[in-house]
Chains A and B, each alone.
Chain A
Amino acid sequence: MENTEGVFFLTGKDFKNAGAASSSLKGILEGRGVPQPIIRRVAIAAFEAEMNVIIYAVAGMMNYTITDEMIKIRIQDMGPGIPNIEQAMKEGYSTAPDYIREMGFGSGMGLPNIKRNSDTLTVNSVVGEGTTVEFSMNLPPAE
């Protein structure tokens, strides 16, 4: 099948549209006939990365590429960056402010959820500039 790629734009604090990019991506994967268990993993990881942009950054974008071999997603933002990525990856670590916690975010499980559901994950960040989270899921060979 031909590769599919595209981009969604994300706006910081836009809680009204939170999850919209991940939902659209899920629809695209369903349209391409990607196996359900893999779609589920992508949906979880994409949502977590999308929410982190909305919660912590000013703006960002989600790029996706789907080939016959894999699904690759890159979420890049302009935002405060992450000073200590290793610490941020730890389950339970969160800097979410109170009003975000009241909405049910800030359990420090987002990045661990991405890690658990992806086959590769890289997080790059420059404090004061932004963060790039890139992950991929392998697709089973077509019969």
Chain B
Amino acid sequence: MELQEVINSLSLKVENPSVNLKREVTGAYVSDMLSDVMGNAHEGFLWITLQIHLNIVAVASLKGLSGILLVNNRVPAEETLKKAIEENVPILTSSLPTFELVGRLYSLGLRCR
């Protein structure tokens, strides 16, 4: 599924619109533990989390994730956003809590495999 389709369907805000949003979302993973994402997410996955600090960008970039979705009105730290622009990692935000977001992503057809 195209990332733009996910953004439109869930009315997500793109915090760094200068990055390339043309990418395929191959699935999704939810976790606030970075090593859990390192071990269990796959390339092209969208990562749903409440972590907003800088190191989430390194994880997304090293794993080749399609983006990071911050839940519950969380906004990325300034240095996180700067790094995400450098590393070309889309940072998306939403006012919805994780449960709601994941339910919608699942109905769109995204899976965790």
> How many A-B pairs fall under 8 Å by CB?
73
Chain A stretch 1-43: residues in CB contact (< 8 A) with chain B: 15-16, 18-20, 22-23, 26, 40, 43
Cβ B34 vs Cβ A105 within 8 A: yes
Cβ B54 vs Cβ A44 within 8 A: no
Contact among A16, A19, A22, A112 for B39, CB-based, below 8 A: A112
Q: How many residues of A contact B (CB 8 A)?
A: 25
Report which residue of B34, B43, B64 has the largest number of chain A beta carbons within 10 angstroms of its beta carbon.
B34
Cβ A103 vs Cβ B53 within 8 A: yes
- A47 CB–B CB distance under 8 Å: yes
0/1 string, A71-113, CB within 8 A of B gives 1: 0000000000000000000000000000000011111111011
Q: How many residues of B contact A (CB 8 A)?
A: 23
Cβ A47 vs Cβ B59 within 8 A: yes
Cβ B54 vs Cβ A116 within 8 A: no
Q: Report A-chain residues with C-beta under 8 Å of the C-beta of B63.
A: 40, 43-44
Tell me, in angstroms, the Cα distance from A108 to B34 when the chains sit together. 11
Cβ A26 vs Cβ B32 within 8 A: no
Cβ A103 vs Cβ B39 within 8 A: no
Minimal beta-carbon separation of B12 from chain A (angstroms): 21
0/1 string, B18-44, CB within 8 A of A gives 1: 000000000000001111101100010
0/1 string, B59-100, CB within 8 A of A gives 1: 101111000000000000001000000010000000000000
Q: What 9 pairs across the A-B complex have the smallest Cβ distances?
A: A19-B58, A109-B35, A107-B33, A43-B62, A104-B34, A113-B39, A104-B51, A110-B35, A107-B35
Residues of B participating in the A interface, judged by any CB pair closer than 8 Å: 32-36, 38-39, 43, 49, 51, 53-59, 61-64, 79, 87
Given contact pairs A18-B54, A108-B35, a sample of 13 additional A-B residue pairs in the complex whose CB atoms are under 8 Å apart = A15-B53, A16-B79, A23-B87, A40-B64, A44-B39, A47-B58, A48-B35, A48-B38, A51-B35, A103-B51, A104-B34, A104-B49, A113-B39
A-B contact pairs, 30 of them (CB 8 A): A15-B53, A16-B79, A18-B54, A18-B55, A19-B57, A19-B61, A23-B61, A23-B62, A23-B87, A26-B62, A40-B43, A40-B63, A44-B39, A44-B63, A51-B35, A103-B34, A104-B34, A104-B51, A104-B53, A104-B55, A105-B33, A105-B35, A106-B33, A108-B35, A109-B36, A109-B38, A110-B35, A113-B38, A113-B39, A116-B39
